[in-house]
C-alpha cells in the first residue's frame, strides 16, 4: 500500500522568501510522485512529476522538488515566493492497481499563504 | 488545445434528486478518472474508465453511484437519490492512451463540479 504525508497543513511565507512544502511517502515499490497546485475554486494543475529519471525535478513557475529515496521524501521548494503562489498544494503518489488503473493517492494538502 | 472540460461547474440538488456530472477529456486522451474531494481533504479515487469500459471502480460507493464513458460523448458520473453527504467537489482527469508509463500515469484535471445537496 502507498500513502502520502504532507507534514504541514498551513505554511505562511513573506513575498520574496523561500518556500518549502514537505512531503513524505510510503510505497512498496518505486513510486512516481507528483505535485499539483489548486487555486481557490479551481481545478488542479500539474506542477511537476518524478518518474525515476533525475532526482531533482524542475516544474513550472520556478518550483522544483527533490526525490530522496533514503528519506522517502519529495519536498517542494521555490527560491522566492510570489503572491500568485498562494494556493493549496498536493503531494501525490501514483499506484498501478491490479485492474490496470493508475490511481493517484493524494496527501491532505498544504495551504500556502504569501504575505506582502 | 482545450484542456479537460467539466460541466456544470456548480450543481445544486435537493435530497433524493439525481445528479449528472459530465467530463470531456483532453483531445487525444481516452482514459478518464473520477475523483471526489470532500471539504478539507485531498482527492479520493472513484473510478477509471476507457471508452465503453469501466476498468476499475474500486473507489465507487456500492450504491447510487455509476459512471459511463460512451463511444461518443463525454464521460458521465451519475449519483441517484443524492444525500447531504454527497456534497463535494468532483474532479475528472484524463490521461493519454499512448506513450510510456510515465505519460499514461500523468493525469490532467478538469476544473471540477461542485455539488451541493440541500
Q: What confidence category does residue B99 fall into, taking pLDDT thresholds of 50, 70 and 90?
A: low
Least confident of A87-96, B5-14, B102-111: B102-111
pLDDT at site B28: 83
Return mean pLDDT, chain B: 90
Return mean pLDDT, chain A: 90
pLDDT at site B10: 96
| CA dist A100 → A109, B12, B56, B105 (Å) | 26, 34, 8, 11
Residue A3 pLDDT exceeds 70: yes
pLDDT at site B29: 87
Residue A68 pLDDT exceeds 80: yes
Q: A-chain residues within 8 Å CB-CB of B45?
A: 101, 103-105
Q: B-chain residues within 8 Å CB-CB of A45?
A: 109
Q: How far apart are CA A18 and CA A53, in angstroms?
A: 25
Q: Quote the minimal CA–CA distance from A1 to chain B in Å.
A: 14
CA atoms lying within 13 Å on the CB side of residue A76? 32
Closest chain B CA to residue A103: B45
| CA dist B44 → A48, A92, B47 (Å) | 20, 11, 10
pLDDT at site B35: 95
How many residues in chain B? 118
Residue B102 pLDDT exceeds 70: no
Q: What confidence category does residue A2 fall into, taking pLDDT thresholds of 50, 70 and 90?
A: confident
Q: How many beta-carbon contacts under 8 Å exist across A and B? A: 72
Q: What confidence category does residue B13 fall into, taking pLDDT thresholds of 50, 70 and 90?
A: very high
CA atoms lying within 13 Å on the CB side of residue A37? 17
Handedness of CA A38, A42, A48, A52 (dihedral sign): positive
First and final C-alpha spacing in chain A? 41
B109 and A42 within 8 Å at the Cβ level: the answer is no
Residue A29 pLDDT exceeds 60: yes
Q: What confidence category does residue B97 fall into, taking pLDDT thresholds of 50, 70 and 90?
A: low
Residue B55 pLDDT exceeds 80: yes
Over residues A42-49, the mean pLDDT reads 89
Amino acid at each position: 500500500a502507498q500513502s502520502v504525508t504532507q507534514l504541514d497543513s498551513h505554511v505562511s511565507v513573506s513575498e520574496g522568501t523561500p518556500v518549502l512544502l514537505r512531503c513524505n511517502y510510503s510505497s512498496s515499490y518505486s513510486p512516481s510522485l507528483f505535485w499539483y497546485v489548486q487555486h481557490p475554486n479551481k481545478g488542479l494543475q500539474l506542477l511537476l512529476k518524478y518518474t525515476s529519471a533525475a532526482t531533482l525535478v524542475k516544474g513550472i513557475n520556478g518550483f522544483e522538488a527533490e526525490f530522496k529515496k533514503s528519506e522517502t521524501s519529495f519536498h517542494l521548494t521555490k527560491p522566492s515566493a510570489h503572491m500568485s503562489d498562494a494556493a493549496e498544494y498536493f503531494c501525490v503518489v501514483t499506484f498501478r492497481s491490479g485492474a490496470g488503473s493508475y490511481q493517484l493517492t493524494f496527501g491532505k494538502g498544504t495551504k500556502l499563504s504569501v504575505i506582502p | 488545445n482545450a484542456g479537460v472540460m467539466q460541466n456544470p461547474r456548480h450543481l445544486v440538488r435537493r435530497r433524493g434528486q439525481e445528479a449528472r456530472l459530465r467530463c470531456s477529456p483532453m483531445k487525444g486522451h481516452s482514459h478518464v478518472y473520477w475523483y471526489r474531494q470532500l471539504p478539507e481533504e485531498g482527492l479520493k479515487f472513484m473510478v477509471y474508465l476507457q471508452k465503453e469500459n469501466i476498468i476499475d471502480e474500486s473507489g465507487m460507493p456500492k450504491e447510487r453511484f455509476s459512471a459511463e464513458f460512451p463511444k461518443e460523448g463525454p464521460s458521465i458520473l451519475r449519483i441517484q437519490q443524492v444525500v447531504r453527504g454527497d456534497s463535494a467537489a468532483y474532479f475528472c482527469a484524463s490521461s493519454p492512451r499512448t506513450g510510456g508509463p510515465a505519460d499514461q500515469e500523468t493525469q490532467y484535471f478538469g476544473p471540477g463540479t461542485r455539488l451541493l445537496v440541500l
